[in-house]
Amino acid sequence: MAERVLVAMSGGVDSSVAAHLLKEQGYEVMGAFLRLGEGGVAAEKSRACCTVEDAIDARRVADRLGIPFYSFNYAQQFRRVIDYFVDEYQRGRTPNPCARCNQWIKFDTFHGLARDLGASFVATGHYARIVRHGGAVELHRGTNRAKDQSYFLAMVPYATLAECIFPVGDLAKSEVRRLAAAATLPVVHKAESQEVCFVPDNDYRRVLAARAPGSMRAGEIVGMDGRVLGGHDGFQGFTVGQRRGLGVAAGTTRYVVRTEPAANRVVIGAREDALSARFRVSEPNWLLPAPPELPFSAEVQIRYRSTPAKCTVETDTDGGLAVQLETPRFAIAAGQAAVFYRGEHTLGGGWIEA
């Protein structure tokens, strides 16, 4: 009897091809779509995910493949992610809602649904790979490094990861498109989602204004010496490392070094002022059978598109982790994920605190 797998179908080409490949490989495939957004907002978006249109596309693909399809509305549960997003900006941090959604909502929900539907595995269209060694599993980067999404999966519990399949992890995007065309999937030419699903036009300030009205107040932009250089309409509109849109004529290029929520102030400086060689990490999540022995050497990635940096990972005084970089890095932002690697192997990750 074929093993049953539940495919998280987003309505995009990656998850659609994932379902197609698993069916070709002999699995008993089912598809499921999670509606996470709110209709009024979703209707405005053109390149985000989880919209009504995406649900329709996912069902069309399921019909084309001849597999059962289920749609579930988890918009109420997803408000936790939206509240987190707003709260992080209010605290002067830079949130990572996609990684939090994977951690809090998507994978937990899909695995619960899989158990209810009698499926042994959950599959998604992520560009990452599961490598199995007997009873142990490892999360590896996607073969196509330009599309690798292991960074966003580092906070998923290890036990959950062991029941995952990532069918497109060995493929390039062009190959995924080719497979979609060969299978005549109706989403073959669909554009990629490149926005946070609840942030229309990537305008996160609009979300903050709507969710926390009155919280964005005028304040000062100051230099590293405290001298007032300009003004702002809300410190939440600035992120560490930002250099455009500062509205300050400083004579030389200046970057946001930090925001100070209590003082409603934005501090800017030279590029070297935004360099750091050490930071703290909270909520460590290890994608290993047992936590590693500390200290250890690895590479750490501090943003989705950043180049991994060599580091030493140590125990911090509060039970978290302390990360010492070999070379200082620019704009290490509290609130972002820090993900640890050894080559292609994703060891785990945590949340940058300072």
Residues catalogued as catalytic: 101, 197
101 φψ region: left (φ > 0), alpha (ψ -120 to 50), beta (else):
alpha
Angle at 270 between CA 237 and CA 338, to 5 degrees: 60
Could you tell me where the beta strands, DSSP code E, fall in 102-261? 121-123, 128-133, 136-141, 164-165, 219-222, 228-232, 255-260
Q: Would you call 289 helix, strand, or coil by DSSP?
A: coil
Tell me whether residue 228 is exposed, middle or buried, using C-beta atoms within 10 angstroms of its C-beta: 0 to 12, 13 to 18, 19 or more. exposed
Tokens 């495919």 identify what position?
Answer: 7
The 8-class DSSP code of residue 271 comes to: G
Quote the CA–CA distance of 119 and 271 in Å, as a whole number: 51
